[in-house]
Structure 1
């Protein structure tokens, strides 16, 4: 057998590392929270440990996995090119920032957007320790990319990130304005994105805007159906929500949402 490949699921330094055969089928995984290596076939034990050796930390254990749920089985069988879980925050903007933007946008205009998504992504990843699962750059045909999808005990959130550019931001029912720039339809867009995600996942999805690096954020009192958050307090605001989903429900929704064909 050719060398096994280690691929991440979730954010760097968090979540699981999957050990895959060259054909993409997972044969083991390393759960970094429990520090346990689960091997599907004992015959591959040494090969798996060799592949994972650079990533193992502290005192770890190895053995057969617990009986997997149906959601976990679907995740194991998902080909890497159809898996959204490894996406980094601002994945599509990273190349534009380094090599030039599409559509004639200058790199200096892309970088504030990328920085805002990285800030928001760092906030959302703080929730993983509290049982949340996070996806970045989720494709919504006809709408574009959803910056972040959060699935946790309080429910599911569709999140759009806005670069505050160290200016005052005003969020109304239908538009958002940063400084003296033209109003943008971000509140209306994220409503439609949340509705789309709710139909696809067949569960309620709340719309949220994260305004990063603004000097001040003003929200119209009439805006009640869109949650407006700011780093560095966004994670704390979400962590205290009333639990509506049990851990198996969170995992099942995450497994469904991470598969690219789900959104086609």
Structure 2
């Protein structure tokens, strides 16, 4: 059949490719992680295979869609304005830059913070094929927003991102110092935010600091409860950690965490 279009499903769709009719209706999707084609309209099977052939890698399984889990069903019924999954890294900073302070120093600080969150966010998003799910700019009353919340095989991580500004960064038990600037209370903040997230999700959450573009990072030997991550080494550090969550647990926690109402209560409807 002519006119079938192959469209990416986006980050929140788990790396799927959707096959759509000219009117936009989906007739199949290709799950690249599972290497499986789920066919919704069997009468278009041959055309679907022809459209997807350039994207297939190795042997694939073909059949009807798998029976959805409770987590998938909950995600499908989530109101769009309550869904945090589409948030981009640094989502709130983009708005602040557009409508925020006009002062040069304040805007420079926002740009540095945004660049750091975007780079770290891209690093975390790239872990999705390894079974990780990432949310950005998660609102937590009393704490502002968690820059990145990672949920994956090695557990849940509450990440505070700090621009290193190509200077030496020193992470201590209570403060983080970048260059000669005033020490920042980022370790204390991420520790408390992780505790709040653990209470909200009813699961263990590890606090983490992501230091981006520092000339070098020194970690105090007494800082044992907070993971310190950097873009080049973060993927290997996370994927090599001992497993703590199984795939169904990851999806269930991700579905819970992506709902704004989990964090702000039923009255909230804004991400």
Q: TM above 0.5, one fold?
A: yes
Could you tell me which residue of structure 1 aligns to residue 224 of structure 2? Answer: 224
Could you tell me which residue of structure 2 aligns to residue 65 of structure 1? Answer: 65
Deviations 1:121-153 (A, max 9, x none): 122123212111111111111100101111111
Where does structure 1 lack aligned partners over 5 or more consecutive residues? Answer: 1-5, 20-25
Using the alignment, how far apart are the partners of 2:28 and 2:182 within structure 1? 51
Using the alignment, how far apart are the partners of 1:207 and 1:227 within structure 2? 6
Q: 1:29 to 1:140 in 2, by over 3 A?
A: farther
Could you tell me which residue of structure 2 aligns to residue 101 of structure 1? Answer: 100
Using the alignment, how far apart are the partners of 1:187 and 1:136 within structure 2? 19
Could you tell me which residue of structure 1 aligns to residue 156 of structure 2? Answer: 156
Any residues of structure 2 matched to 1:1-264 within 5 Å, and which? 8=9, 10=11, 15-16=15-16, 31-34=31-34, 38=38, 42=41, 58-59=55-56, 64-97=64-97, 99=98, 101-102=100-101, 106-264=106-264
Could you tell me which residue of structure 1 aligns to residue 267 of structure 2? Answer: none
Using the alignment, how far apart are the partners of 1:149 and 1:75 within structure 2? 17
Where does structure 2 lack aligned partners over 5 or more consecutive residues? Answer: 1-6, 20-25, 265-271
Using the alignment, how far apart are the partners of 2:263 and 2:244 within structure 1? 24
CA RMSD of aligned residues (A): 3.1
Using the alignment, how far apart are the partners of 1:74 and 1:231 within structure 2? 32
Contact 1:160 1:190 (C-alpha < 8 Å) held by counterparts: yes
Deviations 1:95-124 (A, max 9, x none): 334x35349663222111111111111221
Using the alignment, how far apart are the partners of 1:231 and 1:58 within structure 2? 29
SS of 2:75 mapped into structure 1: helix
Using the alignment, how far apart are the partners of 2:72 and 2:66 within structure 1? 11
Contact 2:8 2:15 (C-alpha < 8 Å) held by counterparts: no
Using the alignment, how far apart are the partners of 1:92 and 1:37 within structure 2? 36
- Residue 64 (structure 1) shift: 3.3
SS of 1:238 mapped into structure 2: helix
Contact 2:101 2:107 (C-alpha < 8 Å) held by counterparts: no
Using the alignment, how far apart are the partners of 1:262 and 1:103 within structure 2? 34
- Residue 10 (structure 1) shift: 2.8
- Residue 61 (structure 1) shift: 8.2
Contact 1:8 1:86 (C-alpha < 8 Å) held by counterparts: no
